[in-house]
Structure 1
């Protein structure tokens, strides 16, 4: 049996083995303590992803010289490395950092992404590292520093974006970094840096701006003044690339008189159209801080006053206080061969500036102008005249239409009123006639509402009963006998219901009450009837137009011979309308 000392030794050994196995340090990595921090170094391990199984207490992770290429979302959260403070990812061929790649890394203070293939600042991914103090993006492929590049890294103290391809720094890209102390923008393609971007950096103490193609003109003068005021000196002296007379010189040591801008030229009239044999003047305005030399060129050939037998005149004037110079170039008696492009070249110690003026010469200019004006006025006048005529025609048609409509309405009302009056008179006269006829005989009168108009000459229209005995219901089964108006002669026939033929006897045997008191009034009237026109072009025979002698005959009871045929037509005039009458 082992004694107590042996048991204790074995326990310590097993504890050490278990502790060593639980650390999870990969064989290819090196786990150690450095500067009081637990550090894992995995350089040149050919990792394509963040290694897993590392101790969660790791504070410094060195993954330099691996092949990560892309950092996906939650790359470090899945590995459990939530206590990282320093993360070195340089030389990892990283081309893209996805938003959320650094999620839950709230303790990271230092991030190194140098020597990769990044083309933009990974602003979205940096938003998860709120406590970031040092950011290195040197030796990448950044081209533009956008205004929102460091919007989520406001606590940066050190920023290294050197040796990229940055040619433009947008406004507010750097001024938001109020805690910045070290700025390195060396080795880019920056030609101008606005001093307003650096003035808010009150604690800035180190700046690297060398190895850039600086334009040492009047714009850079403000940056030079600011660095002198702050007594801030670049780590490596910056040199001028432009203008040529300042090439290679340290612009921090230049005086204000050296920071000059090149001239700025403007053409008073960029294009001139002249008439043959006229005098033409080309004007060029130049803005310059110092004296300037102005030269006119035609086909890259300088023009002097002595050339071309004094046809060319050049006159210059200037106002140094206003930094404005004017050059007038006059061509006497221009010809077609003078047209072309003339160049105004201005040059001072800072550089040159050129503007072009086009001259066209034509003997048809005046004619073309007058013709264009005449055509313009004729076109507008013609359009105006056509518009006026169309308006007048439309107005006249509208007035005539309104008047015609009013006349039609008035005629229609008059016709309706006349028709109503005539119809009323006709009904009254017919009523008087029927009343008088009924009072002098036992034959019942016609009801005026039982008249029916037949426009078709061959149709027989049946009507309702003209007369009925008082208190007697109409016999629905009795046949209706029509009274017709023909075209040969005019007759009014009241037929008797008793028939002597076989058909009539049969009806009498079936309906004896229909034939008890039936008589027929038969009277010829040997004249054409008059017509009362109704609104719908139908015509009623006007019985009141009959002669008084005939009317007196009609008022007296007449005895007529029995009618042998059940239907006999009475024709009145030429209008074939049918009036049927039946008596029960």
Structure 2
């Protein structure tokens, strides 16, 4: 009583405050939950209360919420913001049969450091949802149905220190499945269905201190070699050692009893050809390619005998063995001074802790074959390259010559501007009277422009048909040029007095000018005319020829009268006989550079006996003059 009487009003107020505080907390706690202080944290426990969602009548200052063993199948978007529980630091939602978590379900939980989602029905890691709790350090997804951890599954939680993926039915983890977990220290993968790992899976885990791998069907071959090497490098203790389920030689053996080289794969021989050839007296080489992890030991056998490097078969033969590479190794056997008796089978045997394989090679030693077979591959390649270069050089020369020929200018092209006058022999008066036409002026202009050095583009050529009258009609058509007779003779003139003819194919310098005729006597002119007639009429005329009668009326009627004739040469010219050609004779231009000559008879027959599609067809064979 004495103590109670000594209480001051301040003490009484303090006692009342302490008594009323838990009552206040109890008043803000949901009916289904229990609110209390636990481990220095304001804690709300709603365990096994048949909840289907997060309760909303909870103090906003709550730091720990345990809603395990309920029926919260879905966590909707911003659910913790709606119930004003953004101050949560620890959240336990295990055994809630949860199947789906919205990507914004944990929005606002900036202080959350521990999340337990174990014993639920999640099929994938909720990466996007976990990204809203950026400072999460402890995550448990144990006893879910993940089956696979995809790449970058934890890239949104870089601050994770503990990760529990035990008993989550995981079969495979992507090579980048743990990327972003540089701060991870503890990893639990026990109780899954993992048999092997990708070589780079554990590379991001630089701060790892503890890992649990037991209760998985591990196949302890070369594919786990990198993981075991990583464990040795980080000196990770194995509280419970994993047990190998394969291969057969390592079945039921724990990891801690195995060396690094025990995690091996059987060697694989990569043989391009099992047949080798050699020449008597030369070295024979056999190559064996082996791929194995760890590297395999290669041995060579011949006739049941193990061959060693630098071993001697006899006084003339030795064995050399060269190796290069490690996991992909090439072993080369060289037999010096090979003989025909060495033709047999050699065996290449590769072996490591996973097993051994062998391959047989057949060596055939023969005499040197002739030709290319006796050359080495390098020599054959060199000869082939030289031939290719030579062919390309020849083709280049041909191309250059072709281009130069295309660019060469055409020379000595005749001027096509010529005219031909055909005078009908209706009467003697018409024959003796020369027409007054402008052809003289045209000829003079043409003569002034004609030059054998000029280059003119050839024009399209046509074949002219000149109708010659027969002897019975006693008439003759003449090609006239300013009162000058046309005489076919063996003389050629390169003067400018060329006959203007309509056909450009005719060579005009084969006509004899009047000035040249005046220097001959009457007898000489008669002989020239007779020779010309004999030459040309022999090609077409099949009739029997007779000597010309210069005194006959037919000759007289066909005589050519020159304006300049008065006596002397003029009288001789007047009495010259005119050659006669059969009807339908063709005029043909055949020429060559230089002096025109008579064309080959074969060319004439071909041209005159067939129809040409082109005026120049047939001119290429032989040389000749106008016909």
The bucket for the TM-score relative to the shorter chain is 0.3 to 0.5
Structure 2 length-normalised TM: 0.42
Instruction: Work out which structure has the larger RCO, using CA pairs closer than 8 Å and 6 or more positions apart in sequence.
Output: 1
